[in-house]
Amino acid sequence: MRARRLLVVGAPGNVGQGIVVEALAAGRQVIAADRDSAALTRLAARHQGQDLASVVGDIGTEAGAVALWDEATRPLGGIDAVLVAISVIGKVQPLVEWSALDLSANLSSNVLVHFIAAKIFLPRLPADGLLLGIGGGTADFIIPKMAHISIAQAAQRMLYQGLARERREGAEARELMIVSMVNGEATRDRAKPDWVTDRDVGRHVCAILDDPGRFPGPVMRLMSREQVGQPEPTVRS
């Protein structure tokens, strides 16, 4: 598979920006999607003259995801792969201090968007297409006052494993878990040398799109330089 046309949902985010940069550098057509029109405008200004289009939309509902897909496919006439780079941290507080309603909303923002993306986008992608969700490594551990993120990321991982188990034909769903802090636009001033950068993520996403067979799934882990003891981050199954 050589995905030429790429839809990046959450493109202006801390991870999404690196995916956009590397996908464009690799000669891909990119449609950047987000519900924040101002953020998309800023992103477009940084990539003037490149093969980047943008779509304002929200995959928080199935109707919203359908509308986003219809708008995104209008300029390109088709999409080969979808990247879902959405993550909402929410409140930083002990788990028992969350209300049930707020915790439910946080899980919806971090898990159900991936479910909706799979339900709406997978049937519309070509048979050799790919839906790639970006997840986080705290699915396997808990940071104090951020247990809600671990719950969401663990659920997201099981979602992609379930999609892979049930798949019979058609486009594939995978998850790339970033087992590291990310050095992106929002964290440049405090990032440490061993953090995975947003462009590291983008380069590995492009490698997966170029040759999915090199990276056994459905869940892949992008390990930091320190974790793998190598000069560059590495994807492991």
Judged by average pLDDT, the poorest of 132-141, 206-215, 221-230 is 221-230
- CA dihedral (100, 101, 106, 108) positive or negative: positive
pLDDT at 88: 84
- H or E segment at 138? none
User: At 218, which CATH number?
Assistant: 3.40.50.720
> What is the DSSP track for 74-105?
HHHS--SEEEE--------S-GGGS-HHHHHH
pLDDT over 70, % of the chain: 94
Q: Which two tokens stand for residue 173?
A: 């769903």
What is the tens place of the pLDDT at every residue in 58-74?
A: 999 999 999 999 999 98
Does residue 130 carry a pLDDT above 70? yes
Question: What are the tens digits of pLDDT across the range 84-97?
Answer: 999 888 889 999 99
Q: Where in the sequence is the domain holding 231, given as residue range(s)?
A: 5-236
| 22/87: higher pLDDT | 22
Two tokens, residue 72: 């995104």
- Mean pLDDT confidence for 145-156: 95
Number of domains the chain is built from: 1
Question: Cα(184)–Cα(203) distance, rounded to whole angstroms?
Answer: 14
